[in-house]
Chains A and B, each alone.
Chain A
């Protein structure tokens, strides 16, 4: 186990709703990244937070937003859910942004949008 935890494990929402996913980083890690992984695909980078500031963003619309807290835990918020948002959402923590630091992934949250 990596020490990165995510909640909830599974979630079912309907189109148009909003969702908040949570991630608790490994102890001592100040950087968290969020990824979306559709079935049969590799993880796609959503954004990264370093010491509570957004440090990079992938090709996702503004309805995907995030937050990192002083204890370095993090949230991913998705507004106006669409069917295509159904995926496994992964968070990964690392020791330091801007370095070749190993990312430790959590088990993911499986989101189903109906």
Chain B
């Protein structure tokens, strides 16, 4: 069955460092992949979308890579700040425009 895996353990990093979050998937052929941020008690907020034929996408301090051979996406936040602390969700879509979400990884940036 199709599976989307995000590290269930929280990622703790120091302010100013680069945070790297991983999204792996199996038995899935996504047309595109999205990353969302979710704060406690709030709905997810869309951050970035990357298509299957794109290797990398950037937006300000955010960078996403997408390797369809490895079936993996990496999400990077450079120069991280305590305000970046949140849960980050990846979501895959095979072209139905209805994304399937991973469980998310919690990021904690320490001052």
Contacts and interface: CB of A to CB of B under 8 A. Distances in A.
Contact of A41 (B32, B42, B49, B103): B103
Given A42-B89, A97-B97, A100-B49, A92 B43 contact: yes
A56 B98 CA distance: 8
A108 B98 contact: no
Report, as a range, how many residues of chain B touch the other chain.
20 to 34
Contact of B43 (A56, A99, A102, A108): A108
Interface of A is mostly: loop
A99 B97 CA distance: 6
Contacts of B79: none
Given A42-B89, A107-B41, A102 B46 contact: yes
A2 B45 contact: yes
Interface residues of A, number: 28
B98 A42 contact: no
B42 A107 contact: yes
Contacts of A100: 32, 49, 97
Interface of B: 4, 8, 32, 41-46, 49, 89, 91, 96-104
Q: Which 6 A-B pairs have the closest CB atoms?
A: A105-B43, A42-B101, A42-B103, A102-B46, A43-B101, A41-B103
20 contacts: A2-B45, A4-B43, A33-B98, A41-B103, A42-B4, A42-B102, A42-B103, A42-B104, A56-B96, A56-B98, A97-B97, A99-B97, A102-B49, A103-B46, A104-B46, A105-B43, A105-B45, A106-B43, A107-B43, A108-B41
